């Protein structure tokens, strides 16, 4: 299929997108939001979190930056960087979702089978095992999944499920969105944190006003 200019970007645009995803925590947070977004009609909040330009094209650029964090192929650099097709983006999302779901539920998840070339190198007299461009031979979706697997390996903050009361939900229903947690970060958004604290203080007040039998 002929590629339209929309389907490729230049190396500068890719570098800009990469600059938004500098540390592993930001990259994993991006992947977690991406896995849960409604790609056909993303919410404003998802667009804000997923795309520098706040549109679906921007999400595709960021997905490319996420995937080829360590560099694209030399041929791509000459010809322009190809973005994921809509189908590839959707398949990537499904695989991310399945992996994260399994990981959150069982603290272990299958990432898949990959052909990678390993190389041992020496830095300051110490040997290190590195992956030698192997992942670059993979199709785009596999490359993205491989990148997610590496991140889950290297990242230490826990993945969590947001337990804030669900917006307009029944008693006991929770938000359920996934997030990259921290000791002080247990809700997926400020909105959820506010809802949780308001609900909590209301409950406290109600308990205070209950008649006591003492
Ligand atoms: Zn939430």
Those residues whose C-beta lies under 8 Å from the C-beta of residue 142, and which sit 6 or more positions away, are 112, 114, 135
- In angstroms, what is the span from residue 48 Cα to ligand 1's centroid? 16
pLDDT in tens, the chain (214 residues): 455 657 888 888 888 999 999 889 999 999 999 999 999 999 999 999 999 899 999 999 999 999 987 666 666 667 778 899 999 999 999 999 999 999 999 999 999 998 878 889 899 999 988 876 655 678 899 989 999 998 998 877 889 999 999 988 888 899 999 999 988 899 999 999 999 998 777 777 777 666 655 5
Hunting for tokens 């994260």 — which residue is that? 100
Q: Which two tokens stand for residue 170?
A: 């029944």
213 contacts: CB under 8 Å, gap ≥ 6: none
Burial level of 184, CB count in 10 A (0-12/13-18/19+)?
exposed
Spatial separation of the C-alpha atoms in residues 158 and 124, rounded to whole Å: 32
Tell me how far the alpha carbon of residue 141 lies from the centroid of ligand 1, in angstroms: 28
- CA of 175 relative to ligand 1 center, distance in Å: 5
Query: From the CA of 166, how far away is ligand 1's center (Å)?
Result: 7
Ligand 1 (single-atom ion) residues, CB below 5 Å = 162, 164, 175, 177, 188, 192
End-to-end CA distance of the chain: 79
pTM: 0.84
Compute, in angstroms, the gap from residue 164 CA to the centroid of ligand 1: 5
Rounded to the nearest angstrom, the distance between the alpha carbon of 214 and the centre of ligand 1 is: 39
Alpha carbon of 34 to ligand 1 centroid (Å): 15
């Amino acid at each position: 299929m002929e590629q339209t200019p929309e389907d490729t970007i230049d190396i500068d645009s890719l570098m800009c997108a990469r600059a938004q995803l500098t540390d592993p925590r930001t990259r994993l947070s991006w992947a977690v939001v991406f896995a849960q977004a409604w790609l056909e009609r993303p919410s404003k909040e998802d667009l804000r979190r997923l795309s520098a330009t706040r549109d679906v094209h921007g999400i595709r650029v960021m997905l490319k930056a996420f995937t080829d964090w360590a560099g694209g192929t030399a041929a791509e650099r000459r010809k322009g960087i190809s973005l994921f097709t809509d189908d590839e983006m959707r398949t990537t999302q499904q695989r991310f979702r399945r992996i994260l779901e399994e990981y959150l539920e069982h603290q272990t998840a299958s990432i898949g089978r990959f052909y990678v070339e390993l190389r041992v190198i020496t830095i300051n007299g110490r040997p290190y095992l590195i992956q030698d461009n192997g992942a670059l031979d993979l199709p785009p979706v596999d490359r993205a999944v491989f990148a997610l697997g590496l991140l889950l390996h290297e990242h230490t903050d826990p993945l969590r499920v947001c337990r804030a009361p669900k917006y307009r939900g029944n008693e006991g229903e929770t938000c359920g969105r996934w997030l990259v947690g921290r000791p002080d970060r247990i809700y997926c958004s400020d909105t959820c944190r506010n809802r949780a604290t308001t609900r909590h203080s209301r409950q406290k007040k109600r308990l205070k006003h209950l008649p006591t039998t003492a």
